[in-house]
Structure 1
């Protein structure tokens, strides 16, 4: 698979300001993880050490350490004598990602019923999706949906879960690339996201959890049906 990553690498130049002289591989990994979650680097793309390192103004060793971190998170894969690539998920990956999502997101909604937390970030993600849809920017709508579910997981109030879900949801974003019609896939979930927020805001935690359970199962089924048989690269 080959893709023109020029625009994605150019975006990284703007990210250079997020780094400091004491920047670490973890910060670089966080930037790349977010770009993957935004859909900038599609599955199967080869990541050029030279171009990305220059864009971020970092050393090759720092970048390689960041690549190693993201490989551990299953976002990248290193191929001997070929380089580092954005991972192509398998159907089994999709199933496992949704197992994690069912456990974490539904538990986060339940915890909100016991210890309510502000819904600002959840509502902001809903508004982000609405604006993207109004602009016809369906890839951005997918990014907004990732932000929505990160905010749902955030209702648990756990930094460790937040860190884990950033990786899981960035991995999920790689699966969105198989959808031939992103509008048809994402548009119905804009309404469902709003319904979830309404239920949470009204205190109907049980109803929100039930809605979320059906929602995740519908999303999993759609991706599983769209995923090509045998998709994915070994490793």
Structure 2
């Protein structure tokens, strides 16, 4: 079941005010959507949570109209639900969504692994692995989930396509919402900390086909665990 999670207005305003510099001189709806998408990817907003126009617009220092347009954009990305006369809520993806997300991941990440990584790209991937390991040592499983998302975003960047990078950011934000169905985050995330390290080892040793095959098995396991978590609710 979903973990109970409520943010009071003061916390939302205080946390989101830190993101104001990212808006630059013009607080466009696209930039606001980028910030909210990142916050969803980090686990700041969780499925079923109603988003307060008042607190978010105050926190980011943007108009209600700009925020509503950002909400509309994120609705098209399947991250938010607009409910008539009730407001805007963070969406919980379905089991069918999970299967489709993993279908896309196999294509994007498998293609990336067949490319030789640059030293810079490999450094970002390894940094995400280290961050996950540090978070695991501190029993911070939300932090592990965030580092894992950064790991896969960095992995897909090996494709060298800004369009693929953008698609992956949207996909991973939706996937983060799926993680909340797991009653025991540690049991879900912990095995993949080691598997990420093993995947990097295959990449560093110049074995792209073995790395791609390893990833296929990795994604199969993750998909099975997540869909199984939905079964009592189907």
Q: Which residue is 2:93 aligned to?
A: 89
Other-structure match for 1:30: 34
Post-superposition shift, 1:228?
Answer: 4.1
Alignment of 1:1-235 (within 5 A): 3-6=5-8, 7-110=11-114, 112-113=115-116, 116-118=117-119, 119-230=122-233
The DSSP-based 3-state class of the residue aligned with 1:42 is coil
C-alpha deviation, 1:46, in angstroms: 0.6
* CA distance 1:224–1:67, shift in 2 (3 Å): same
What is the DSSP-based 3-state SS (H/G/I as helix, E as strand, rest coil) of the residue aligned with 2:174?
Answer: helix
2:61 and 2:152 mapped to 1: Cα distance? Answer: 32
Contact in 2 for aligned 1:25/1:63 (Cα 8 Å): yes
SS of 1:43's equivalent in the other structure is coil
- 1:17: Cα distance to partner? 2.0
Deviation at 1:89, TM superposition (A): 1.0
SS of alignment partner, residue 18 of structure 2: helix
Cα contact 2:12–2:59 (8 A) shared by 1: no
- Structure 2: distance between partners of 1:10 and 1:215: 38
Distance 1:16 1:228, change over 3 A: farther
Shift of 1:130: 0.8
How far off is 1:9 after superposition? 4.6
Look up the SS of the partner of 1:77 in the other structure: strand
Say if 1:8 and 1:40, in contact at 8 Å, map to a contact too.
Answer: no
For the aligned residue pairs, the C-alpha RMSD in angstroms reads 1.4
Is residue 12–residue 56 contact of structure 2 (8 Å, CA) maintained in 1? no
With structure 2 as the length reference, what TM-score do the two structures score?
A: 0.93
